[in-house]
Amino acid sequence: MAMLTLLRTVLVAALALAVTVAAAPPLPTPDADNGGLVLPPGFRALVYADNLVVGRKVGNASERLRGIAVAASGDVYAKTRLGGIVALRDGDGDGRAEMIKEFGPGDGGTHIAFHDGWLYHSSRTAVYRYKYTPGDLVPSSTQQTVVSRLPAEKDRDAKARRAGHTTPLRSALTDTRCAT
């Protein structure tokens, strides 16, 4: 009798798992040309958003997207080199961003990250944050300065790519002594 009860429990658990897996939404359909990327066999791609900053200039400098952060909801946040932040949302699950909003101070930078309920981003000389509220594409909170007056070194942007080096954003996220 105990074996029958155990078998029923395993069967019910397996059925529940099968229903959960079956209920997962399908993946978006990849682009036929993989978004113009050359990928290894078995990999596929699609363009989530395109031409977000094409043709934009600040002075003589062309705008570029620098870093991205993805919220648990799937919303994507891109930090621009010269401007603020671009927030993107796929509202219908097709793998393409239908909602695109811009926010932020417009002082540029490179880094953006989520940490402990905050959306952090940096400029060349400061680190900022917004309180992140799940479901809100654009934060309703005001921007807070975490640390300012950092030296504007010429190679500050490249430091994040070298292993073992600390960047202002990483420091602000890990060092509780940071203050304005």
Query: Are the C-beta atoms of residues 110 and 160 closer than 8 Å to each other?
Result: yes
pTM score, whole prediction: 0.72
Q: Higher pLDDT residue, 5 or 39? A: 39
CA 123: distance to chain centroid?
Answer: 17
Model confidence at 43, in pLDDT bands (50, 70, 90)?
very high
Residue that is written with structure tokens 């959306």 in the block: 119
pLDDT, position 160? 39
Measured CA to CA, the distance from residue 44 to residue 39 in angstroms comes to 7
Average pLDDT over residues 18-25: 56
**Residue ranges in 102-178 assigned as alpha helix (H):** 156-159, 168-174
